Amino acid sequence: MSAPASLRAPAPLRALRRPLGAVAGFWLALVVLAAVFAPVLSPYGYDIQALKEAYQPPSAAHWLGTDEFGRDLLTRLIFGARTSLSVSATAIAVSVFCGMVLGAAAAWFGGWFDRAVTVVADLTWSFPEILIALILVAIIGPGTLGTMIAISVAYLAQFTRLTRAQILTLKGETFIEAARSLGASNGHILFRHLLPNALAPVLVSAMLATGDAIILEATLGFFGLGAQPPVPSWGGMMSAGSALVFKAPWVILFPGLTVAITVVAINLYGDALIAALDIRSRLRRAA
């Protein structure tokens, strides 16, 4: 006999009961904590140059080695986590909020507004995110703000379409008809009944999209369009290390591994969260 819903652990904690979910959650917690406490954990400044110590391999003094300017690679990797994670998470959060508002309004009110939102979302959806991001960064200009705006717009269609589909499915449910018959306003039904029930799939999709956003931010940084020097980012570090792949391979190896492991961890934890929320069964029942 399963425990009552009120006594069950929250879904993020239930996801940790799966072995892969626990490992992925541990890595993500480690990366986030390292980013938050970067000034405390880092023995060096991320922008302090020591040219005499350039190209040092991993050692006791510099655990991950140094780059072409003698800067400690571990320090820049930790501070780079601040840039990459904050830019990606903020951009996805903005995209989720705007996408849910547009998708919910389109599904609820229908008519010409629904058709307009659907056409724009489908048109945006047909282009790769990297192409949209590159066009927007070229218009806005390189930097952290331009990268956040580009990623937000690139993923807006995904959350708009998902929210619209969820609201359209829920509109015909009995509890919505009951709320309407009791005189509930459109705003009350939308914000108290529809959006809360559509929130879980959107949030899980947002978490998985954050992994893609990290790759997109790293790609823009690799092309020199992300955070500008001396602010470190994982993509920018990989870009600098690409010219040193034979002379100092650790300069590109460790940022690349960090990006890869973090993205895989996000996807593994996202899969565990999907299982904990039983989203696949809910979507099959809705279909």
Asked if the structure places residue 4 within a domain, the reply is no
Residues 213 and 91 sit within 8 Å (Cβ to Cβ): yes
Asked if the structure places residue 58 within a domain, the reply is no
pLDDT of residue 7: 43
Closest CA to 123 of 80, 145, 153: 153
Amino acid identity, residue 26?
A: F
Residues 29 and 271 sit within 8 Å (Cβ to Cβ): no
Q: Please give the residue range of the domain that contains residue 132.
A: 16-34+64-286
Mean pLDDT by 10 residues, the chain (287 residues): 54 85 95 92 86 91 91 94 93 94 89 92 88 90 92 93 89 78 76 82 90 93 88 91 88 94 94 78 49
Asked if the structure places residue 98 within a domain, the reply is yes
Asked if the structure places residue 55 within a domain, the reply is no
pLDDT of residue 287: 43
Asked if the structure places residue 11 within a domain, the reply is no
**Helices and strands (H, E) in the chain, number of each type:** 14, 0
CB atoms within 10 A of CB 24: 25
Task: Estimate the crossing angle of helix 156-171 against helix 73-109, to 10 degrees.
Answer: 40
Asked if the structure places residue 54 within a domain, the reply is no
Asked if the structure places residue 46 within a domain, the reply is no
Who contacts 272 (Cβ-Cβ below 8 Å, separation ≥6)? Answer: 15, 16, 18, 20, 21, 24, 25
pLDDT of residue 43: 79
The CATH number assigned to the domain holding 69 equals 1.10.3720.10
Residues 126 and 139 sit within 8 Å (Cβ to Cβ): no
As for how many domains the chain has, the answer is 1
Give pTM, 2 decimals.
0.88
Rounded to 5 degrees, what are φ and ψ at 115?
A: -65, -40
Query: How many whole angstroms separate alpha carbon 76 and alpha carbon 70?
Result: 11
Residues 63 and 69 sit within 8 Å (Cβ to Cβ): no
Going from the C-alpha of 229 to that of each of 83, 147, 240, 264, the distances in angstroms are 12, 14, 11, 27
| Helix%, strand%, coil% for the chain, nearest 5 | 75, 0, 25
Asked if the structure places residue 202 within a domain, the reply is yes
Tokens found for residue 123: 């048109």
- Residue 110 has what DSSP assignment? -
